[in-house]
């Protein structure tokens, strides 16, 4: 069972790496993306600086709203740039899942140390016979490992977009 598990994880890592490489070719290496990312980081730093001052007058609140809108617009432009690579990523990952699924149809590739619940159980047990929710199918392992490896690869390559400010400010503590 361990070789099957490692094979599914390896296929997941390879397909995720290929899709991230395609994203790098189409988006992340281009000057437009780099400019938008730097602009987003600069705006967020300025937003954090002003919000850390805890100013209460309306000019500061208006400036915070202005920065929040600029950051939102910048993130929208970044999302539009990533749209086509996101579609290519989905096609790459689903096609790899389709081909690998035929090899592992109805086979248990891992045993969970716990009983999965809810929709997680449906993901991990998909395509398997029986009611033992500790058994994991190829689909469940591939899905979870793809999500994890994609996040790790994006962080390692620096492809994570800049953070967004909170939508609502926390209420100021009441002064006594």
Instruction: Tell me which DSSP letter residue 135 carries.
Output: E
Digit-by-digit pLDDT tens for the chain (176 residues) are: 678 889 888 988 998 888 889 888 888 888 998 898 888 888 888 888 877 776 666 677 778 788 888 888 988 898 888 888 888 888 887 888 888 888 888 888 888 888 878 888 888 888 888 888 888 888 888 888 888 888 888 888 877 765 666 655 544 455 54
Q: Say if 172 falls within a structural domain.
A: no
Q: Say if 85 falls within a structural domain.
A: yes
Question: In total, how many domains does the chain have?
Answer: 1
Quote the tokens at residue 40: 């987003």
pLDDT at 55: 64
Q: Say if 164 falls within a structural domain.
A: no
Cβ proximity of 68 and 47 under 8 Å:
yes
The CA distance from 29 to 21, in Å, is: 10
pLDDT at 103: 83
pLDDT at 35: 92
Q: Say if 132 falls within a structural domain.
A: yes
Cβ proximity of 67 and 51 under 8 Å:
no
Q: What is the dihedral of CA 44, 50, 51, 57, to 10 degrees?
A: -140
pLDDT at 31: 92
Q: Say if 175 falls within a structural domain.
A: no
What is the domain range of residue 77?
A: 2-157
Q: Say if 137 falls within a structural domain.
A: yes
Q: Say if 129 falls within a structural domain.
A: yes
pLDDT at 33: 87
Contacts 24+ apart (CB under 8 A), 66-73: 67/43, 67/165, 68/165, 70/43, 71/40, 71/43, 71/44, 71/47, 71/162, 71/164, 71/165, 72/164
Cβ proximity of 156 and 16 under 8 Å:
no
Q: Say if 170 falls within a structural domain.
A: no
pLDDT at 48: 82
Cβ proximity of 133 and 115 under 8 Å:
yes
The CA distance from 27 to 161, in Å, is: 12
What's the pTM?
0.71
The CA distance from 119 to 110, in Å, is: 18
- Lookup result for tokens 């469940």: 140
Q: Which helix (H) or strand (E) is 112 found in, with range?
A: none
């Amino acid at each position: 069972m361990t070789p099957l598990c490692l094979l599914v994880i390896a296929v997941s890592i390879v397909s995720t790496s290929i899709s991230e490489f395609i994203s790098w070719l189409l988006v992340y290496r281009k000057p437009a993306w780099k400019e938008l990312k730097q602009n987003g980081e600069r705006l967020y730093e300025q937003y954090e600086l002003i919000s850390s001052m805890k100013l209460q007058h309306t000019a500061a609140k208006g400036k915070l709203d202005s920065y929040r809108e600029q950051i939102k617009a910048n993130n929208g432009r970044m999302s539009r740039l990533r749209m086509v690579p996101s579609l290519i990523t989905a096609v790459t990952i689903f096609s790899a899942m389709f081909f690998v699924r035929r090899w592992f149809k109805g086979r248990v590739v891992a045993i969970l140390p716990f009983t999965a619940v809810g929709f997680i159980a449906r993901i991990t047990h998909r395509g398997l016979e029986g009611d033992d929710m500790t058994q994991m199918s190829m689909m469940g392992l591939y899905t979870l490992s793809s999500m994890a490896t994609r996040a790790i690869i994006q962080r390692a390559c620096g492809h994570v977009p800049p953070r967004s400010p909170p939508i609502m400010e926390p209420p100021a503590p009441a002064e006594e």
